[in-house]
Structure 1
Amino acid sequence: MKRLHWILLLMILLIPTESISAKKKTEKSDREIWCDVMYRMAAPVLSNMSEGLLKQNMLVELSPTWDGRNQNVTYMECFGRLMAGLAPWLSLPDDETPEGLQRKQLREWALKSYANAVDPASPDYLLWRQENQTLVDAAFLAESFLRSYDALWMPLDSITKQRYIAEFTDLRRVDPSYSNWLLFSATVESFLRKAGAPSDTYRISSSLRKIEEWYVGDGWYSDGPRFAFDYYNSFVIHPMYIEALEIITEAGKREKIGNMPGCNFHEAIRRAQRFGVILERLISPEGTLPVFGRSITYRTGSLQTLALLAWRNWLPEELSNGQVRAAMTAVIQRMFGDGRN
């Protein structure tokens, strides 16, 4: 009986030890978690679009409150925003790791998808010429080229490049609303400037001047004349303001731009750093974020400014790389970890 007692005790001690050991062997690193979620999002879009099959195979669900606009804007919205987020990672060199193989595959698909997006003969030619919404989504495509110019723009063939320049230039037909939309014009024109194509400097400078006027303090910009408490400072304003300023000031080498009083590249980064501190503090230990403002369905897009600061090595002293990575990983796992979202 005594022997049986010790055997049972030994089994009790060994069971949790073995479970913990197995868990450690299968536990993914933060980077693996990010890459897996990213691949799960990107592969269905790019694998189909690279073959001209996105419109054919993409399931589109419309909200009960759909406003009746042309639903074909969906495809550029999907492709543009995906590539704006994916671009920095695709600029990394190839290697034979599982991550490297995924990256190489996605880049190959992306380059073919970029070509199909502006090829009138492709079934996946995007809705460039009809809707004002095109300015918004084209700006995210332009942003992807700004973020990964050598890896995503330079490999495109000359005809595809000419088509993009023509489509981007044609967007001057859109009169942007008096809001963050000004930055969409500025981003498109900033890319044209970087690519050596004719650009409209006034559309850049006038937009940046207005955004500067709308700075209200403590890292926050107003989205138009009236302040709105939402995540658009992260979805659009901080990233696109900084990136457009980076082009027109040559990364701050030109401290003062004559027709842009107050617009300062380095000051814009400092404001984004303050906003990044606020964003990081909004993340709970459980990986949740407060839900407020419009477009909350953009989900982790609400953390774009924080991600930009980490990627560009601009995090303030108050935030360490590990701290930000852990916080954002918690949000990603909370939001996408169970495979239902």
Structure 2
Amino acid sequence: MTYDPAGANPLAGNPLETRADMQRALLGLFDPLLPYFSTGNARVRLDAAAAHFDRSAADLEGFARPLWGLAPFAAGGGHFAHWDRYAEGIANGTDPDHPEYWGTIHGRDQRMVELAALGFALALLPEKLWDPLSPRARDNLVAYLLHVRQFDYAENNWKFFRILVDIALDRLGVAYDRSPTEQYLEELDGFYIADGWYRDGNFRRIDHYIPFAMHFYGLIYSRLVEDEHARRYRERALLFAEDFRHWFAEDGATLPFGRSLTYRFACAGFWSALAFADLEALPWGEIKGLCLRHLRWWADKPMTHRDGVLSIGYGYPNLLMSENYNSGGSPYWAFKAFLPLAVGEEHPFWASPERPVAPLDQTVVQRHPGMVMMPCKGDVVALVSGQENRQMRFGSEKYAKFAYSTRYGFSVESDERAFAGGAFDSMVAFSDDAIHYRVRETNEEARLAGNVLFSRWFPWPDVVVETWLVPSSPWHVRVHRITTSRPLFTAEGGFAIPRRDMEADTLVAARGSAYAMGAEDFSGIRDLASTVPRDGLVQKAPPNTNLIVAKTLVPQLRATLPTGQSILACAVIAIRDTGAVPSLWPSAPAAPDIAELDALAEQSKTVSAIKAPGRLP
């Protein structure tokens, strides 16, 4: 082979232990972009794939997003040799008479997103991006920023984008009407739930946008502005850190959950922002460890193209899992992880010895996102009910599966007309024709009783499913009560594990159980006295459906449900310890009594995520 996909990763071989290591990582990730700057330096076009917005906005995205890392790097004293390119690019991109003009905004627009990075960089580094501009270029830039802020921003984290532009205008001494700024700050407070948790807008989604957007921008604000909002942002971040640390495994992997995962190590952005804001939400050594271990987790992943440019995808290049707003420049929101470069070597973030994460020794209940975090020997598994996203592709897979894992990720389906070949990891799928299928998309009800999740959902109007998720580490138990007016085919999957070439894995399927054993991992599913018999199957999932590895195996149970009421129950396990299989596999937990589960559902509390007022029809 002439191409080592992991070796093309600019993080490969970097120990990522010190400030100098992080500086080198930033420049290593940026340098592959240099050949793609336009002649006038206002645009960076990385590939031919399209997002829903126009090409000039996509080119601005490629230009602006690296500033999330470059600006703190330079503010902390790092030498970056290409500020002249950025100054020229800003001058040309905001000049209506220049061929590389970024385009005039006429309403809600992707340019609003990217100008937040520019506002942040201008606030930190006016000597690099403002002082070199001619008087005419300064006038054009100010006019561009004032023009964009007159339009309404989306009802979610986007509201912070105008606030960051306003901070830049303040730093540059530009006069403007500040009343909309205060209005947006108040509206952002309307997304706050409690205990450090937000929603990203009034929708049933509480995902990585809470740490790498809502808290990230709030912490930046708290360093650059001193007011009551800044104080609240800091107080909320202190609370949030206690919960969010449980989204990370001992090896640095975070929980792949929700949309925009192509931003990759932006998931460390919250820990990075704590350093930038000088806020010790956890002991500094623990914050440092959470941040740097996460970066190290990416160092051996084939996440770039041959030239070292970050790909759209997660563990490897994968357009299938992307959102329609992902262009070639989108992954560079990952540079949010480099905020600690703004603070010096003497800062306690860098001066403190790195501390390992305290491993979970029991389940941790997070009522607001509707998660039960479960320890699994180096992995973290989240049982989930209460979230949804029906606006975006694969919203069901990204938000509504029963379980998500830091090690095994999750899979998206590649064909909605392939019931026989679906992956269905951590889902149950129903079909009335053995071709098309339905899975959980939304919940009519989602509740927590202790550490047991209950949900009621409708794959069709005439089919009701009640689901209980019960932790029993390293297993978890699922119980479904299905009431249907017609017979249905069903398939229920365990976790997806890597599949080797040459059929080297062990696949075992029987009545009532199935498991797969690979080079390092074991995944199994056992039926627990369901009212209909189920046959085991190990599905060789369609390629490029899992976020972390391109080829996977998923153990499944399949059956046909009769008209009326049926109970399906199973125990599911996945572990990175094939030597433990002989003792673990025969010892699956028993199914709870359905009457006891009904009683729990009656005593439970509603998951916060489901109470969002702005649910789409």
| Distance in 2 of aligned mates of 1:27 and 1:240 | 28
5+ long unaligned stretches in structure 2: 1-13, 305-617
- Change in Cα spacing, 1:134 to 1:54, as seen in structure 2 (3 Å) is closer
Within 5 A, what are the aligned runs for 1:93-132?
93=77, 100=78, 103-120=79-96, 122-129=98-105, 132=109
Between the aligned partners of 2:255 and 2:206, the Cα distance in structure 1 is: 12
Counterpart amino acid of residue 297 in structure 1: T
User: Following the alignment from structure 2 to structure 1, what is the Cα–Cα distance between the partners of residues 163 and 272?
Assistant: 21
With over 3 angstroms needed to count, the CA separation of the structure-2 counterparts of 1:28 and 1:315, relative to structure 1, is closer
User: 1:232: how far off?
Assistant: 1.2
CA distance in 2, matches of 1:230, 1:189: 27
Structure 1 residue 50 displacement after superposition? 7.3
Give yes or no for the alignment of 1:291 onto 2:295: no
The aligned residue for residue 235 of structure 1 is: 212
- Alignment correspondent of 1:16: none
The equivalent of 1:314 in structure 2 is 279
Which range moves more in the overlay, 129-138 or 26-35? 26-35
How far apart are residue 185 of structure 1 and its match? 2.2
Residue in structure 1 matched with residue 229 of structure 2 by the alignment? 264
Give me the identity figure in percent.
22
Secondary structure (helix, strand or coil) at the match of 1:162 reads helix
Map Cα deviations across residues 175-203 of structure 1 (whole Å, 9 max, x no partner).
Answer: 22222222222222232233221222122
Residue 70 (structure 1) aligned to one of 54, 60, 66: 54
Deviations 1:277-310 (A, max 9, x none): 4333322121211011111111111222221111
Task: Give me the whole-angstrom Cα distance separating, in 1, the residues matched to 2:16 and 2:208.
Answer: 30
Does the 8 A contact of 1:279 with 1:306 survive in 2? no
Task: Identify which range, 304-313 or 26-35, moves more after superposition.
Answer: 26-35
Task: Mark the CA change 1:314 to 1:244 in structure 2 (over 3 Å): closer, same or farther.
Answer: closer
**Structure 1 residues 111 and 280: CA distance shift in structure 2, 3 A:** farther
Checking the alignment, whether the CA contact within 8 Å between 2:67 and 2:117 is kept in structure 1 is yes
Instruction: Give the number of the structure whose residues are more often helix, by fraction.
Output: 1
Q: Match for 2:103: what amino acid?
A: L
Q: What is the aligned partner in structure 1 of residue 243 from structure 2? A: 278
SS at the partner of 1:216? strand
Equivalent residue number for residue 153 of structure 1: 130
1:4-27 Cα distance to aligned partner (Å, 9 max, x none): xxxxxxxxxxxxxxxxxxxxxx96
8 A contact 1:91–1:150 mirrored in 2:
no
1:300 maps onto 2:265 in alignment = yes
Distance in 1 separating the partners of 2:303 and 2:55: 25
Matching of residue 34 in structure 1 with residue 22 in structure 2: yes
- Once residues 33 and 281 of structure 1 are traced to their aligned partners in structure 2, the CA distance between those partners, rounded to angstroms, is 26
Residues 54/163 of structure 1: CA separation in 2 closer, same or farther (3 Å cut): closer
2:37 aligned with 1:49: yes
User: Are the counterparts in 1 of residues 64 and 118 from structure 2 also a CA contact under 8 Å?
Assistant: yes
Aligned residue pairs, count:
291
Give 2:256's aligned amino acid.
V
- The range that moved more, 272-281 or 73-82, is 272-281
C-alpha separation in 2, matches of 1:129 and 1:199: 18
* Alpha-carbon contact 2:252-2:294 (below 8 Å) kept: yes
Structure 1, residues 193-220: CA drift from partner, whole Å, max 9, x if none? 3322122212201100111122111211
Which residue does 1:328 correspond to in 2?
A: 291
SS at match of 2:193: strand
Residues 140 and 53 from structure 1, CA distance in 2 versus in 1: closer, same or farther, beyond 3 angstroms? closer
Q: CA deviation at 1:166?
A: 0.6
TM-score by length of 1: 0.74
- 5+ residue gaps, structure 1: 1-25, 94-99, 253-262
Change (3 A) 1:28 1:42: closer
Aligned to 2:70: 86
CA 221–154 in structure 1, closer or farther in 2 if over 3 Å, else same: farther
1:6 aligns to what? none
Answer 1 or 2: which has greater strand percent: 2
The one-letter code sitting in structure 1 at the alignment partner of 2:280 is L
Structure 1 residues 150 and 305, CA gap change in structure 2 (3 angstroms): farther
2:489 match: none
Indicate if the aligned counterparts of 2:16 and 2:22 stay in contact, CA closer than 8 A. Answer: no
Specify the structure having the higher radius of gyration (Cα): 2
Is the partner of 2:49 in helix, strand or coil? coil
